[in-house]
Structure 1
Amino acid sequence: MTATEEEVRAAPSDIPAEQAALGGMLISKAAIRQVQDVLGSAEAFCRSAHQMIYQAALAVDATGDPVDAISVAAELERRGELARCGHAPYLHTLTESIPTAANAGYYARRVAEKAVLRGLVEAGTEIAKYGYEGEGDAADLVERANKLLAQVEAPNASGGAEMTHISEVYLHVVDDQEVQDDTLLVQPPYADLRDIVPGIKPGQMVIVGARPSVGKSVVAADFARHVSMRQGIGTALFSLEMTQIEMGQRIMAAETGIEFQRLRDKKLTDEDWQRTARVYERFARAPFWLSNDFGASLAQIKARVRQLARTHDIGLVVVDYLQLMEGGNRPDSRQQEVSAMSRGLKRLAGELGVVVVVLSQLNRGLTQRADKRPQLSDLRESGSIEQDADVVILLDRPDANEKQSPRSGEIDLLVEKNRHGPSKCEVTCAFQGHYSRIVDMAGTSWGSPG
């Protein structure tokens, strides 16, 4: 097809269906409800005259007067639009275009389908401009393109989620009781923590906060390897401060029981090599992907998760850590930027139906307090992080504050927020830093070698 032919191609439309839907409205009050429920706004009609007739019919109906060709013609005359709509004879033609008003809903759905196709054409044209002009970061352009496509929807859906009668909600609740949630939930890696947070549902966001060198990245890796290797749930891990090799060494140390330092220094023994060979199949089977980009922005993370989700079932996204992300815009303050990224990750969880675990730095101020136990108010640079999160877990290691602490080797997981369960709870685990892992104090086998 030549460029000229492409330019003159008509927008998708079904004019006979538009006429039939309007004709039904001019015959039956019930048809007005059917068409309005399907189409919502007048923009669903391709022909501007039909948009005006539709709006005039709804205006007459709102007054309580009968809606017919005569009353709608009078309303159009009052608006100064009758001539642009073909005068009164065209309205009478509309009433003859539908065999029975009972079919108005069917024709309205045909009109709606064409409206969606026009939306796709318009979005595609705009997206093509992004590609040709190339103004801005490529990942941001992809994000804008995704937003445009997300707005292409049924005409009456643009005002928000569909309203559902309470009786239907009742049936959904009853049906949901038959579904076993266990297979859908992301489980925390530590048994004692699972007593407080048994499972995390798709769409929820977990914040893990700590000061540097306390164990955030260990928790991130523990979540990722437990969920992918033990639960078999697709996992995407974005480490913004470690390379894939560095993160891989930590995960291998945790899985094999080989000291992390030997892996890092490349001083494996023969026994170590045997251990690495034994866990290869576990790594090969795991639906687990790692990013390798220190400067990833929110838009880039979203784009990569969406791309991965097209070919794999992804249930968990881990980001290490929030303050290292780039916002991709120029807000008035860093606090606003971090807030926007937090909200963006929460939206990502809802849009893709995944659990998002985000690590966050805590303010330096807590190290100046007499009581160095972290609090929710210590979440760095944004109070909205707490608001966006469904679960907030703060980490505290006694030996990080006091080298000779009698609790050396222990780490406290403080569940400060739990939207769907108990909060202000504390779990104590064993911090095995030499293996780059955390285990329950009672001893667990999931992270052990073999």
Structure 2
Amino acid sequence: MLTNELANNDLSSVMVAEQKVLGTIIVNQNNIERIEDFLRAEHFSIELHQEIYRTFLKLIDTNIKVTPTTVKNLLENNFIFQEAGGQKYLTSLITLAFMVIDIYDYGRIVYDAAIKRQLITISQETIKNAGNASIIDDAKTQVETLESKIYSLTNEDFVKRSFTNLSQITSEVLKNIDQIVKNPGCVIGIPTGFIDLDSRLGGFRNSDLVILAGRPSMGKTAFALNLAINACSKAELTKTKQVVGFFSLEMSSVDLVARVIAMWGGVDSTRFIDGKLNEENYNKIRQTVAEVNELPLFIDDSPALTISAIRSRARKLKRQNNLSILFIDYLQLIKCTEKVDNRSLEVAEITRSLKALAKELNIPVIALSQLSRAVEQRVDKRPILSDLRESGSIEQDADIVMFIYREEYYLKAKEPQINTIEHKEWIEKLNKSHNVAEIIITKHRKGPTGNVKLYYDDKLSKFSNITFSTTCLK
């Protein structure tokens, strides 16, 4: 329980709290262990206290005990220290220390006051920049900058993550194993909704960057939408509500939602274009819309977003709606915040930022990616890692790399002459590959790679388990 003095967060109480923190460390330097994870020198409100705290850290780093004498020796040439009274000021700090029960409480009031001062500074800078006609940043950029600064304040760890005892980590591992043993088929991460894929991946894990790549017309966006819908509609598998964010830098949100309605309701998406809907289909669509409206899926279809804008908006969605998983369609359309002449360096910066975002928000980030035309030059069109555009950085930063491949697409493009042996073989291959999509896992840091086959209904843009062609979405 904080004292009334600590609860009253005015300037004088903050000053006293700072003095008590410093005095308590002089009395026993081991007290610093209670606050050093979150309290830094710049959190103190006056320069003298900042200098004294830095001196403590210097002494401890060099294995010299913190005492009034060792502190005075390091600060004796410091004008601010001498102006405050030098040795007498240190003595006054020690006197205040005897009133302290727990240094953590006073460290917290110092920290909180520092955050409030930063908030005031950010507000003042924002007002100044917004009213300054000479600032070249447009309003959108200024808003993104403000959001980034606010997010940094609200999400600065009060107690920074430090070393964890092995026993604490193993207990978490055993907890996951027990969950799987007691519930065979249980998914630890966010479920993909596809049995064979979940058995290989264990679902999408927090802090992972997943790359889903393929050539045009392979169904990347459709598959990503299926994964997104499964994530936010399969809550019964994970017992928690999964909030999904979807950045669509290419397609409009209206087109995406039309696809979702088609998959969910089982209505041929071409009917959305030609309008040939009978009464039964129309009623089914209206019912589907009511069901889809309940899904915690958030779509942002802003074009040409920068990586900083994506980061800012994802942080906001995490803060306001507890974002669980993020999809980005697609990687090559993201722009760097700073102009970069070399495209490979630009992509490297983007993938590093996406991986950092996944770790920062502790969520899976699934980014779609294009493939180079090298695929088209080979007899076997199945993608490999080197087919990724600017593949070096993407392959390095990703935890999982998956390719989507449909042999049927390529077979249809090259029909041999009718009434030939080649045509007969072609028909056989076409029948085997009809409505079949392969998900090729070529990189998986936490588990096995390999191929997973799924059923793909191109009229509904819907993927299902290959063992049955019914919906995976409901």
User: Is TM more than 0.5 here?
Assistant: yes
List runs of 5+ in structure 1 lacking aligned partners: 1-9
Q: Residue 380 of structure 2 aligns with which residue?
A: 371
Q: Is 1:197 aligned to 2:201, yes or no?
A: yes
- Render the CA deviation track for 1:205-250: whole Å, top value 9, x for unaligned: 2211111111112212211222233446322322222223322332
1:236 aligned counterpart, secondary structure: strand
- Render the CA deviation track for 1:187-208: whole Å, top value 9, x for unaligned: 2233332232231123222211
- CA–CA distance in 1 between the matches of 2:287 and 2:272? 16
- CA–CA distance in 2 between the matches of 1:140 and 1:271? 48
Structure 2 vs 1, CA of residues 18 and 362 (structure 1 numbering), >3 Å: closer, same or farther? same
Structure 2 vs 1, CA of residues 284 and 112 (structure 1 numbering), >3 Å: closer, same or farther? closer
Q: Residue 144 of structure 1 aligns with which residue?
A: 145
Structure 2 vs 1, CA of residues 333 and 175 (structure 1 numbering), >3 Å: closer, same or farther? same
Q: Residue 360 of structure 2 aligns with which residue?
A: 351
- CA–CA distance in 2 between the matches of 1:422 and 1:193? 11
Q: Residue 16 of structure 1 aligns with which residue?
A: 16
**Aligned counterpart in structure 2 of residue 293 of structure 1, from 296, 302, 305:** 302
1:242 aligned counterpart, secondary structure: coil
Residue 257 of structure 1 deviates from its aligned partner by 2.8
Q: CA RMSD in A?
A: 3.4
1:328 aligned counterpart, secondary structure: coil
Q: Residue 97 of structure 1 aligns with which residue?
A: 96
Q: Is 1:414 aligned to 2:440, yes or no?
A: yes
- Render the CA deviation track for 1:141-190: whole Å, top value 9, x for unaligned: 344334433544899979x7433344544555566667789587322233
- CA–CA distance in 2 between the matches of 1:153 and 1:179? 33
Contact in 1 for aligned 2:213/2:369 (Cα 8 Å): yes
Q: Residue 222 of structure 2 aligns with which residue?
A: 218
2:442 aligned counterpart, secondary structure: strand
Residue 360 of structure 1 deviates from its aligned partner by 0.7
- CA–CA distance in 1 between the matches of 2:372 and 2:68? 69
Q: Is 1:30 aligned to 2:56, yes or no?
A: no
**Aligned counterpart in structure 2 of residue 247 of structure 1, from 238, 256, 260:** 256
- CA–CA distance in 2 between the matches of 1:172 and 1:16? 42
Instruction: Give the 5 Å matches for 1:17-416.
Output: 17-31=17-31, 33-34=33-34, 36=36, 39=39, 41-60=40-59, 67-77=66-76, 82-99=81-98, 103-133=102-132, 135-152=136-153, 161-170=161-170, 173=173, 185-231=189-235, 233-403=242-412, 404=415, 405=426, 406-407=429-430, 408-409=433-434, 410-416=436-442
The residue identity in structure 1 corresponding to 2:208 is Q
Residue 422 of structure 1 deviates from its aligned partner by 0.6
Q: Residue 462 of structure 2 aligns with which residue?
A: 437
Contact in 2 for aligned 1:339/1:382 (Cα 8 Å): no
Contact in 1 for aligned 2:188/2:202 (Cα 8 Å): no
Structure 1 range deviating more: 194-203 or 123-132:
123-132
2:438 aligned counterpart, secondary structure: strand
Contact in 2 for aligned 1:21/1:35 (Cα 8 Å): no
Q: How much identity, in percent, do the aligned residues show?
A: 29
TM-score normalised by length of structure 1: 0.83
The residue identity in structure 2 corresponding to 1:77 is E
- Render the CA deviation track for 1:271-326: whole Å, top value 9, x for unaligned: 32233234233212222233333333333333433444444343232222111223
Contact in 1 for aligned 2:151/2:315 (Cα 8 Å): no
- Render the CA deviation track for 1:358-389: whole Å, top value 9, x for unaligned: 21110011211233220011111342222222
Q: Is 1:426 aligned to 2:448, yes or no?
A: no
Structure 2 vs 1, CA of residues 103 and 185 (structure 1 numbering), >3 Å: closer, same or farther? closer
- CA–CA distance in 2 between the matches of 1:366 and 1:320? 21
Q: Residue 3 of structure 1 aligns with which residue?
A: none
Structure 2 vs 1, CA of residues 199 and 59 (structure 1 numbering), >3 Å: closer, same or farther? closer
Structure 2 vs 1, CA of residues 12 and 426 (structure 1 numbering), >3 Å: closer, same or farther? farther
The residue identity in structure 2 corresponding to 1:426 is N
1:393 aligned counterpart, secondary structure: strand
Residue 437 of structure 1 deviates from its aligned partner by 1.8
- CA–CA distance in 1 between the matches of 2:38 and 2:456? 58
